[in-house]
C-alpha cells in the first residue's frame, strides 16, 4: 500500500522581520541626525526656518514610505557603497578643514538614500528617491550669487513698494533702498531680509513638494515653481506696502510693534501663497494626490 508523502516547503529565515520597518527607519534617522548634527547647526545659520522645514518634510516622507514596505532579508551592496562613500567624503572634508556647509545636504541625501536602500533593498528604492533628494534644497545659495542679486532685489522691492504706496494716496520719497514718508519723520529701509529672496526660497521648497505630491508632469512642475516664486515676491511687496501704510497712519506706535506684525502678517501671506498654489495646481490639471 502506497503511503502519502508530505512535502514541507522550507521557510526562509526572516532575520529582518523582527524589527518593524517604521521603527528601523526612525532609528536610522535618529542616528543620521547625530552624525550630521554639528553640520546642520552650521548650515542653518542663515535660513533656519527653511532648513528645518525641509528636514522635517524629508523625515516625514521617509517614515510614511517605510509603513508600506518590508525590510530586506539581505544587505544591499549598492546601499552600503553609497553610505560608505558619503561618510568617507564627510571624514575627508573634516580632515582637510574645508568649508562643509554647501556639501552637507548632498552628503545627507546620498547617505539617507543609501541607508534606505540597505534597509529595504534595491527593488524597493523608488519610494525613497524623492525624500532623499529633497534634502538637496537645504543647500545654501553660493555667496557670490547672493552678493550679485541682493542689492538689485532690494532696489526693486523698494521701488515697487514705494509706487504701490503712492497709489493709495500716501506721498513717499525714495532714495535707493530707503523709503521716507513725506508727512512724517519715519522712513523704512529695505534690507537684505526684506528683498523677497528668503520667501522665494521657502515657497520654492513648498512648490517642489507639492509638484511631487500631485504627481505633476515636468512642465506642470516648472509652472508650479515659477508661479510660487512670483507669488512670493508679490506677497513681499504687499507686506512692505502694508507696513508703509500703517506707519503713515499710526506712526511711532506701530513702529514699536513692527517685528511682531511682520512675523504674523508674513505667515498669513505665506499661507495665502500656498493656497493660491493649490488653486494653480488644480487649474493646470494636477488633481490626483500621490498615495503615501
How confident is the model over 23-66, as pLDDT tens digits? Answer: 777 777 777 776 676 666 666 554 556 777 887 888 888 888 77
Q: Give the neighbor-by-neighbor strand order of the sheet with 178-181.
A: 172-175, 178-181, 187-189
Average pLDDT, the chain: 81
Cell 539617507 -> residue:
112
Most confident range (mean pLDDT) of 76-90, 122-136, 268-282 is: 268-282
Give percent of the chain with pLDDT exceeding 90. Answer: 24
Total-model pTM: 0.81
- What is the Cα–Cα distance from 157 to 174, expressed in whole angstroms? 11
Residues 112 and 133 sit within 8 Å (Cβ to Cβ): no
Displacement of CA 53 from its chain's centroid (Å): 6
DSSP secondary-structure letter at 4? P
Q: Compute how many other C-beta atoms are within 10 angstroms of the C-beta atom of residue 233.
A: 21
Average pLDDT over residues 76-93: 84
Q: How far apart are CA 33 and CA 171, in angstroms?
A: 52
Domain ranges of the chain: 21-138, 143-283
pLDDT digits 0-9 by tens, 87-132: 888 778 777 766 556 778 888 899 888 888 888 888 777 888 899 9
Query: In the structure grid, which three cell numbers stand for residue 133, read together?
Result: 533628494
Amino acid at each position: 500500500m502506497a503511503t502519502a508523502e508530505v512535502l514541507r516547503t522550507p521557510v526562509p529565515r526572516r532575520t529582518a522581520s523582527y524589527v518593524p520597518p517604521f521603527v528601523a527607519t526612525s532609528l536610522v534617522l535618529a542616528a543620521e541626525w547625530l552624525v550630521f548634527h554639528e553640520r546642520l547647526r552650521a548650515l542653518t545659520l542663515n535660513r533656519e526656518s527653511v532648513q528645518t522645514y525641509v528636514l522635517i518634510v524629508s523625515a516625514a516622507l521617509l517614515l510614511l514610505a517605510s509603513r508600506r514596505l518590508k525590510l530586506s532579508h539581505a544587505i544591499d551592496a549598492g546601499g552600503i557603497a553609497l553610505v560608505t562613500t558619503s561618510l568617507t567624503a564627510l571624514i575627508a572634508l573634516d580632515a582637510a578643514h574645508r568649508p562643509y556647509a554647501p556639501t552637507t545636504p548632498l552628503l545627507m541625501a546620498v547617505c539617507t538614500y543609501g541607508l534606505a536602500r540597505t534597509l529595504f533593498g534595491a527593488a524597493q528604492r523608488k519610494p525613497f528617491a524623492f525624500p532623499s533628494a529633497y534634502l538637496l534644497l537645504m543647500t545654501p545659495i553660493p555667496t557670490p550669487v547672493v552678493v550679485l542679486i541682493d542689492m538689485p532685489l532690494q532696489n526693486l522691492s523698494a521701488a515697487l513698494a514705494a509706487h504701490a504706496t503712492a497709489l493709495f494716496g500716501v506721498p513717499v520719497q525714495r532714495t535707493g533702498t530707503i523709503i521716507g514718508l513725506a508727512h512724517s519723520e519715519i522712513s523704512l529701509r529695505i534690507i537684505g531680509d526684506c528683498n523677497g529672496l528668503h520667501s522665494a526660497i521657502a515657497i520654492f521648497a513648498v512648490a517642489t513638494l507639492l509638484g511631487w505630491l500631485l504627481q505633476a508632469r515636468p512642465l506642470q512642475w516648472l509652472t508650479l515653481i515659477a508661479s510660487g516664486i512670483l507669488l512670493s515676491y508679490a506677497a513681499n511687496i504687499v507686506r512692505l506696502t502694508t507696513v508703509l501704510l500703517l506707519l503713515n497712519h499710526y506712526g511711532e506706535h506701530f513702529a514699536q510693534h513692527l517685528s511682531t506684525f511682520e512675523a504674523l502678517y508674513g505667515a498669513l501671506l505665506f499661507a495665502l501663497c500656498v493656497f493660491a498654489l493649490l488653486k494653480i495646481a488644480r487649474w493646470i490639471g494636477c488633481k490626483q494626490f500621490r498615495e503615501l
